[in-house]
Each structure stands twice: as structure tokens, then as C-alpha cells.
Amino acid sequence: KLSMRLTAVASYVETGAILADIGSDHAYLPCYLIRNEKISKAIAGEVVKGPFESAKKNVKKEGFENNITVRLGNGLQAVEESDGVDTITIAGMGGPLIASILQEGHTKLGQVKRIITQPNIHSSSIREWAVQNGWVIIDEEILKEDGKIYEIIVLERGQANYDELEMKFGPYLLKEKSPVFIEKWERESTEWKRILGSLEKAGDTEEIYQRKEQLRKEIELVGRV
Ligand code: SAM
């Protein structure tokens, strides 16, 4: 059974989409979408040999070799123009890594209409990449599974302006302010305050000073939510 996290990611893939799942690991996400007949064609990309092999094994076991092409490649290098990919999923990585995959692979985005990301941390990197590259956030979700909190950000082409709070917390998530959202930011804020407290006991080098300023800023931002 697919995790609640990946099931949520899958729910944003439109029926009939041609998908590239980057960093697919076991290829659970594309396999789930094929099994449920939501899509019939996908690329599973992996940069590491071990996960690439397990993706191939899993696709074979499920009998989806005609539907899912597993490729070894860094980021969007796994995508070829002739694939006709119109949807990309990148899940289970940090926001900055996801943003760098999109940045480095921007020439492969020509036919892509929707990008579904699930950053584990620093989701604001994805929002920053989006506004700088002509994408808008069309939906967001936050969920908790096994004590961990995950965010999903869905992008389509367009232009938008987000203020500082929206960039940090997500325009949709900020509006919704769900209990999980509150819990996430209370957790983060508690952690920032703890780090700030211990830095206050440390000496005041320029680096420590900068870090403290940054922590104060973040604590202040959370206070405005
Ligand atoms: N997407 C799956 C999920 O959400 O459950 C797997 C997440 S796993 C934590 C991250 C995967 O991304 C690893 O298998 C790793 O090898 C792969 N990965 C990391 N950087 C990558 C890159 N630049 N290109 C392709 N895959 C990458």
C-alpha cells in the first residue's frame, strides 16, 4: 500500500498525464498511478544505481515494463523530448535540491504543464524558483504521517506575486492554517528559540551574530502567522 504522503502527491497528477517521476527510488508512485489506471505512461528517473535497480525490479514485478521507462540520470536528464512528458513529480527531497533539479533541467520543461513537488524541508526554495521562472502555485497541501510533517506544492505556468509570509509559509497553507500547519511552525519556532538560546551563550563572532539575526527574523515571521 502506498504511503499517505505519496498518495497525496499522486492525487495532483491529472488523468491521462505523461509523467516523469524524478528521484523515483522504488518507482512506487508511477506504479500506483498505472495500477489505478490514472495514467498509462511514465518515466521513472534515478541518479543512484541502487534505487535505479529497485525501480526496474519493481516495474518488472508489477508487469508495467510497457508503461514505465526507468532511466538512470541526474534530474531532468532522464527526460527526453520524444517522451512528451507533461507532468513532473519530485518528492521526498529537500526544497533546495528540488529547486536545483528544476533549474538545471529547465530546458526539459518545454512541454511540461504541471510540476508537483513534495519538499521535506525548506519549501520556500521551490516558491522562489517558481516566481523567478514563470510558474504559479495552484495548490498546496500539508500532511502528517508517522509523526513527520510533509508539504506538497503544485505548480503551473503563470505569473504571481507573493509577499514575504506567503513565500515562507505558502499562500494556500497560510490561508488554510490547518492544525498540522500550526504544529509544524510551532515545532520549528521552538527549535529556533532553542538554538538562539544556546547561541546567546556562545561568543559573538560575525558568523554567530548573523545566524542569531536570521533566527530572530524567522521567529518574528512565525509570530506574524
Ligand atoms: N520520490 C520517492 C519518495 O518520495 O518516496 C523517493 C524519495 S528518496 C528519499 C530520494 C531519491 O531521490 C533517492 O532515491 C535519490 O537517489 C534520488 N535523487 C536524489 N537526487 C537526485 C537527482 N539529482 N536526480 C535523480 N534522482 C535523485
- The domain limits of the chain are 4-165, 183-223
Contact residues of ligand 1, CB 6 A cut-off: 6, 22-25, 45-48, 51, 74-75, 91-93, 101
Greatest distance between any 2 Cα atoms in the chain: 61
What's the rounded Cα separation, in Å, for the pair 167 and 91?
19
CA of 148 from ligand 1 middle (Å) equals 18
**Among 24, 28, 74, residue to substitute to test ligand 1 (most atoms within 8 Å of Cβ):** 24
Indicate the class that CATH gives domain 4-165: alpha beta
Work out the number of other CB atoms within 10 angstroms of the CB of residue 29: 27
Are 1 and 139 within 8 A, CB to CB?
Answer: no
**Which residue puts its alpha carbon closest to atom 8 of ligand 1?**
92
Name the grid cell of 118.
513534495
pLDDT (0 to 100) of residue 218: 94
What's the rounded Cα separation, in Å, for the pair 70 and 28?
12
Q: What angle do CA 18, 66, 42 make, to 5 degrees?
A: 20
pLDDT in tens, the chain (225 residues): 999 999 999 999 999 999 999 999 999 999 999 999 999 999 999 999 999 999 999 999 999 999 999 999 999 999 999 999 999 999 999 999 999 999 999 999 999 999 999 999 999 999 999 999 999 999 999 999 999 999 999 999 999 999 999 999 999 999 999 999 999 999 999 999 999 999 988 878 999 999 999 999 999 999 999
pLDDT (0 to 100) of residue 204: 81
